[in-house]
């Protein structure tokens, strides 16, 4: 009896949370797939008809936005690696006693609402605002120069908003490097550059991979930055999905697009994880 109870304990513990996740996370994904294959409209209701047409329509009408989302997401991710890696490197190796202070400073933006941060950039970058206004007044920039409503503003916003998710995993990977390994490289006559290229960089890669996972997914599926900082030529797939769900209420097309986005990201993640060795990436990402 006692043994049976012990065997059941973990199941009893995960039961309430597991049910919550099953009903409100796993089941909805199936419902969304079903909805994408239905036809009808909001007024008359929807019926399941294996209506693949929503996928055809969605991909025909919005392939530009899908490709743009992936390109913007990739661009933002690459920028984050370039900006974030040296920062993570410096904090991990030269941060000394104040490492946690620097990490804390990097995380400060998270104490301000995501929407508010993005609006703050809109304000800063506005056509005659705090940054561009003075430069235009002294003639350094032409009067019709703008940053808002360009891809640069959207990609910049994405890179800004998710940067800490790139720096932290790289920092964790670099922090774990045993200093004796670096000494060994030095003893074996590796110069600083050689040491970096052959020892530090390979050991940091799991962190970079995890960072890519944690920044590419939210960046490529975002619609806040494109709405606030972008214009009509920078709409991403997130904008389309949001609009189809909440404004036009064309649920089949909306869920078909949403499912397509999920499938693309999933295939991407698994291909990526497979290429790099599943355990490592998932392990680091789960932390």
Partner 1 sequence: MRLFRGRGLQIYTWLVIAWLIVPIAVMVLFGFNDTKGRYNSTFQGFTLKWYGKLFEIGDLTQALVNSLLIAVLTMLIAGVLGSLIGLALGRYRFRGSGAMNVVMFAAISCAEIVMGASLLSLFVTLAVPLGFWTIVISHVMFSISFVAITVRARVMTLDASLEEAARDLGAGTWTTFRLVTLPMIFPGVLAGSMLAFALSIDDFVITNFNSGGTVTFPLWIWGSTRVGIPPQVNVMGTLIFAAGLLIALGNALVARRRR
Q: Is 1 a binder of partner 1 (CB under 8 A)?
A: no
Residues 238-267 interacting with partner 1 (rule: CB under 8 A) = 238, 241-242, 245-246, 251, 254-255, 258, 261-262, 265
102 binds partner 1 (CB under 8 A): yes
Residue count, binding to partner 1 (CB under 8 A): 87
Contact 213, 287 (CB under 8 A): no
- Smallest distance from the beta carbon of 140 to partner 1, in angstroms? 20
In the complex, the smallest distance separating the C-beta of residue 261 from partner 1, rounded to whole angstroms, is 6
Per-residue x/- mask for partner 1, residues 191 to 210, rule CB under 8 A?
-xx--x--------------
From candidates 113, 233, 248, 278, binder to partner 1 by CB under 8 A: 113
**Residue from 3, 4, 17, 47 binding partner 1 (CB under 8 A):** 17
Q: Which listed residue (66, 75, 92, 106) binds partner 1 by CB under 8 A?
A: 106
- Distances in Å between the Cα of 219 and the Cα atoms of 101, 112, 190, 277, 284 are 27, 18, 38, 23, 19
For position 109 contacting partner 1 by CB under 8 A, the verdict is: yes
The rounded distance, in Å, linking the Cα atoms of 90 and 96 is: 10
The secondary structure of 152-214 as a DSSP string is HHHHHHHHHHHHHHHHHHHHHHHHTS-HHHHHHHHHTT--HHHHIIIIIHHHHHHHHHHHHHH
Residues belonging to the chain? 287
**Residue 125 near residue 229, CB atoms below 8 Å:** yes
Q: Which parts of 130-169 interact with partner 1 (CB under 8 A)? A: 130, 160, 163-164
Nearer to partner 1, 56 or 112 (CB): 112
In whole angstroms, what is the distance from residue 50 CA to residue 19 CA? 29
């Amino acid at each position: 009896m006692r043994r049976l109870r012990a065997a059941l304990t973990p199941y009893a513990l995960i039961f309430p949370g597991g049910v919550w996740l099953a009903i409100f996370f796993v089941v909805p994904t199936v419902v969304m797939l079903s909805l994408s294959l239905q036809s009808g409209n909001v007024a008359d209701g929807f019926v399941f008809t294996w209506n693949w047409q929503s996928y055809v329509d969605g991909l025909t009408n919005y392939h530009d936005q899908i490709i743009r989302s992936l390109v913007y997401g990739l661009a933002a991710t690459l920028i984050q690696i370039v900006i974030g890696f040296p920062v993570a490197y410096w904090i991990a190796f030269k941060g000394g006693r104040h490492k946690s202070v620097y990490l804390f400073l990097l995380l400060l933006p998270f104490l301000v609402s995501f929407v508010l941060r993005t609006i703050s950039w809109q304000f800063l970058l506005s056509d005659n605002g705090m940054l561009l206004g003075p430069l235009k007044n002294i003639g350094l920039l032409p009067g019709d120069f703008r940053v808002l409503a360009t891809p640069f503003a959207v990609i910049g916003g994405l890179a800004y908003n998710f940067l800490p998710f790139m720096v932290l995993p790289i920092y964790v990977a670099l922090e774990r490097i045993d200093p004796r390994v670096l000494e060994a490289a030095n003893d074996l006559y590796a110069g600083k550059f050689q040491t970096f290229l052959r020892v530090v960089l390979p050991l940091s890669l799991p962190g970079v991979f995890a960072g890519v996972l944690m920044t590419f997914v939210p960046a490529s599926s975002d619609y806040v930055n494109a709405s606030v900082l972008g214009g009509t030529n920078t709409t991403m797939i997130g904008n389309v999905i949001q609009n189809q769900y909440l404004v036009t209420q064309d649920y089949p097309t909306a869920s078909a697009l949403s499912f397509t986005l999920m499938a693309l990201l999933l295939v991407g993640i698994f291909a990526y994880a497979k290429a790099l060795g599943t355990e490592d990436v998932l392990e680091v990402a789960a932390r």
